[in-house]
Amino acid sequence: MSAPARDYYETLGLERDASAADVKRAFLRKARQLHPDVSDDPDAEAKFKEVNEAYSVLSDPRRRQNYDRFGDADGMGGFGSMDDLFSGFGSMSDLFSDFFGGGARQRRSGRGRDMAARIAVTLAEAATGTERTIAYDRLGVCDDCGGTGSADGETPHTCPACGGSGMRTIVQQTILGRMQTSAPCDVCHGTGTVVEHPCETCEGQGRVPTHEVVTVDVPVGVRDGETLRMAGLGEAGWRGEVAGDLVVEFAVAEDPRFVRRGDDLAARIDVDALEAILGCTVEVEGILEGESFLADVEAGSLEGARLRVEGRGMPRRGGGRGDFYGIVEVHPVADLTSEERETLSRVSRSHGGRIAPELEAVAEGRAPSAKHWPRP
Ligand SMILES: [Zn+2]
Ligand SMILES: [Zn+2]
């Protein structure tokens, strides 16, 4: 057995200047011979995968260009967002099963199915909105017949088997008598129309496996799990019927700095015990790039105290913003000098505070100044 062919052109039996249409035709021809459901060749599956891989590169202008120049489809400038693809619409081989199995499968309607994709964004990206490019494979409109499924441009005519209803009535004799059931017509696959000379490229389906690249607008303030329906970008319809939609789901990542609740954002505000007692104004980093604002920590704030700054939360799609909430976390006061401890002990004592015995002596004037003592 030979090593897997690395030359994608050779795999598909193409010259290097082959057109996009040549690539598609060569791929479909090879794939038909090698599809594991059809071929007897014991290596069919491995060969099918190679053909698949070659096609996925050569059918994508950007990856093909990379491959021609660098010998590697993704080495330079490949899509960074491939991870964004959601497997909701199944694998490549499912796609081809749908395509090759399409002639035999009974269909209720010729409308293409919806497909799903997921786009992951950071919270900061969700705040401003952004753009993402995603790449995916689908059954797209066959260019060779313009989606009609007909080789010679003839308009599809009414299916003689079902009279155009797309359904056939099956009558069965059972012990209870005659039973009538209806099922999609197997001649026209439920579409109600047929063509005399089917297009060779798509075998009359009007659609073929295609590689799509679309740019998606990620809206301002998008929420985790929110979806966007992109009409007509799902699976192409059977013989020119309505295409399904591409349903994009946004996944907004958690942010280490902020907790989001609806349009509001919360973050920890670190203060030391003295700041908590006296109150302070702190500078807070906002969700927008380079944004900062001031927040007031009230005097006497305790651990877990909340403060609110209006209009500094997540931007909203229609304008305006949610609010920012600061949650106070109180930390020990670092590096107090002996003198500072003495000063504080006097303040505390005058409020009836309990203080350490050695500080008590100083506070009462019974002991020499603190500078004789070691630092704590
Ligand atoms: Zn029919
Ligand atoms: Zn076609």
Domain match, 105 and 175 both: no
How remote is the CA of residue 184 from the centroid of ligand 1, in Å?
Answer: 8
How remote is the CA of residue 179 from the centroid of ligand 2, in Å?
Answer: 39
Domain match, 282 and 327 both: yes
Domain match, 134 and 199 both: yes
On the 0-12 / 13-18 / 19+ scale of CB atoms within 10 A, 214 is middle
Looking at the CA of 201, which ligand is closest?
Answer: 2
Domain match, 226 and 126 both: yes
Domain match, 275 and 313 both: yes
Q: pLDDT (tens digit, 9 = 90+) per residue, 298-353?
A: 999 999 999 999 999 999 999 999 999 999 999 999 889 988 988 898 899 899 98
Q: pLDDT (tens digit, 9 = 90+) per residue, 135-194?
A: 888 899 999 999 988 988 788 788 898 888 888 888 888 887 888 888 888 888 777 888
Looking at the CA of 200, which ligand is closest?
Answer: 2
Using a cut of 0.75, tell me whether the model's pTM lies above it.
no
Domain match, 161 and 26 both: no
The answer to whether residue 190 is domain-embedded is no
Domain match, 32 and 140 both: no
How remote is the CA of residue 364 from the centroid of ligand 1, in Å?
Answer: 105
- Give the 3-state secondary structure of residue 88: helix
How remote is the CA of residue 89 from the centroid of ligand 2, in Å?
Answer: 23
Residue 4: pLDDT above 70?
Answer: no
Which has more confidence, 21 or 321? 321
Domain interval for residue 85: 79-156+195-253
Spell 289-321 as b/e; 16+ CB within 10 A means b: eeeeeebebeeebeeebebebeebbbbeeeeeb
- Report yes or no: 174 and 99 within 8 Å, Cβ to Cβ: no
Report the distance separating Cα 123 and Cα 222, nearest Å. Answer: 9
Domain match, 98 and 111 both: yes
